[in-house]
Amino acid sequence: MLCLTLSGMTMAQESKQEPEERELNPIVVTGTGTHQRLKSTAVPVNVITAAELKKTGITDFQQALSMAVPQLSFTPNAMGSNLMMNGLSNKYVLILLNGHKLVGDVSNNVDLSRIDLSRVKRVEVLNGAGSSIYGSDAIAGVINIITNDPQDEISLTSQSRVSGKGQFTENVNLDIAKGIFGSQTSYKHDRSDGWQNSPLAYIIKNGEIQGTQESLYPLSAGFHSNMVNQKFTLTASEKLSLYAGGNYYRRITDRPTKEKGKAGGFNYDLHYESWRFEAGGLYKFTRRNSLQFDFTIDDYDQRHKYIEDYSSYKAGEYAFSKNQKFYDGELRGVFHFTTNSTTVFGTDIKQEELRASSGNVEGTAYTLSGYAQHEAHWQDWKAIVGARYDYHETAGSHFSPKLSLMYALGNLNLRGTYSHGFIAPQLNELYYKYFNDKSGGRPDLAIGNKDLKPGSSNYFSLNAEYHTNKFSASVTGYLNYLNDMITKKSYPIDAATLAWAQQNLDITEDQMNRIERYTFYVNFDRAIIRGLQFDVMANLFPGFSVSGNYNLTYARGKIDGEWQNIEKSIRHTGTVNASYQYMWKHYTLNVNLNGRMQSKRYFPGEDNAPGYGIWNINTRHTFNFSRHIIIEPSFGVDNIFDRKDIRPYGLNVALLSPGRMLVGGLTLKFK
């Protein structure tokens, strides 16, 4: 099949007798580590399928998540966006690509631009602690991105999307599935001119607004990026299958240069480059017993590319900023010792490395893990008992148990879960050594702490779900108790710290005499997250489906003895999606409406980010004149009601949108 697309979404389909309906019972793997139908798994999981993503017309992975999953949100900042999930920040969220950790962050947030949405089969979102299967970082939840494998004998696809502010996405995919061999090749180009919603910036001194001035600061920085993916599969026999693949990614921002009399402007752009390699295999002893091995290398670089002469750098030259490396080897066995049970055993070895010019960080840490999980079902009951042991090089040993129970009463499922989570100290928190005397005031000194304990959580949830072939509704309540959270705390300078700084950092005697305080990473924060989530999905009549999701998150943390809202948390969020499809012989019409509403986002003091509601509509027109060619134009409007934040730059914002924009596309397919 050869396919040329200009809509960001490909929808390969044969002529059908009935309009497509929403899949209410897909296969999932994230909650238990084994493949199961969504409605029969003992652990509730939110699923977004490729078909649902295609209907929205969205090609940006971050935007797709925020419009489909209310418990996820993104906070705009100058470097990118901060991910929040169930009231907790990015570092408490584990992001997986086909079950293996994705590293490489921008401003401490995983770079989701490395995800090629055209290759996504489904996205699975697990709420709460998942350390019994996945280890560190899975405290707020797990996002597992599952990519597809070649299905057609040969297919070539080019997919594009264009909208306002110079936003353009192009995907080219080549798939081959011939006998025992499979190949999946893809290229993605993405770019944006960036934008301002206000030409002004606030003048802020001592935390107070003193006025405004002309500004160059972009609300969303321009960029251009390129990415190549390659994956090979080999089905050597009925028992043995192998795979190997890699990813190359390069992204450069296009930030404004400095202008006299205007705030903002930069003398360098940001350059990101990464390589990711994966290989593994599956051996089936019998149809129900197997052994799987996976190995992953992820290497992510950040550099500054100077756009004008500065210090010893010439325009066009690069300066090193940060490098992150991640190695992961995992061996997992899945066994069915009895007809009504599944047992999983696994072992995992991880190595993380970090070098950063900011903070003079250079460190490594390894983790050795072993885990086991047993799932049994009898009559209308299903139970899962699991545990994982992790030994972290600096944080020591950690034990993570899990217990889930489900009772099925006809079309009603009742679920209860307890799971333990932990987060090992990050390498920058362990090895940070930062000194800055460029502010013109008191010098800044910040120090990592090699004696940090891992943060931990205890997560409890209750879920009730009613489902039929046409309708599904669920309600989930949860409590997440966090202890030993890691944060920075300020202390008066003392002689021992000054002596350490003089020995480890380039500090003059005059600078030492002016240091009054320093910041140090410590364990002391506590938090309690209380949440309630409602999900409804229905196929109301042939071709028409709707879904609605509402999330209430009450996230409070104890900081310096005082309970307060966790920074960047949101109390109320909701998403709505409606899709209609109708078929006339060789033509199919699909209309999709999706919206997201959220209340204000909390920040310290009074500067909370305002709430908003944003709605998109997309139409897709599929002309299928033969089984060898498909023509598919698409048209839509993003941000129908033109919602945007037009306040001067410098306040916390919740919505990056530049306002209402037309979106267009085209798909051509040849088999």
User: Residue 7: pLDDT above 80?
Assistant: no
Predicted local distance difference test score (pLDDT) of residue 4: 33
Separation in Å, CA 360 to CA 104, 179, 230 = 18, 52, 35
Upper half-sphere CA count for residue 417 (Cβ side, 13 Å): 30
Over 50: is that where the pLDDT of 1 sits? no
Alpha-carbon distance of 646 to 42, in angstroms, equals 46
Provide the 10 A C-beta neighbour count for residue 209. Answer: 13
For residue range 437-479, list pLDDT tens digits in order.
654 456 778 888 888 888 899 999 999 999 998 999 999 999 9
The burial class, CB within 10 Å (0-12 / 13-18 / 19+), for 129 is buried
Predicted confidence (pLDDT) at residue 80 exceeds the cutoff of 70: no
Rounded Cα distance, 478 and 45, in Å = 14
Tell which wins on pLDDT, 139 or 77. 139
Task: Quote the CA–CA distance of 552 and 599 in Å, as a whole number.
Answer: 10
Q: How many CA atoms lie within 13 A of 507 on its CB side?
A: 24
Are 82 and 568 within 8 A, CB to CB?
Answer: yes
Pair 186, 119: CB distance under 8 Å: yes
573 strand-pairing partners = 551, 598
Using one digit for the tens of pLDDT, what is the confidence trace for 555-589? Answer: 998 877 788 888 889 999 999 999 999 999 889 99
pLDDT tens digits for 220-256? 889 999 999 999 999 999 999 999 999 999 999 999 9
Q: How far apart are CA 574 and CA 240, in angstroms?
A: 44
Query: Which residue from 521, 358, 366 is spatially nearest to 449, judged by alpha carbons?
Result: 521
Q: Domains, the chain, ranges and CATH? A: 2-599+616-670 (2.40.170.20)
Residue 95 confidence (pLDDT) above 80:
yes
pLDDT mean across residues, the chain: 86
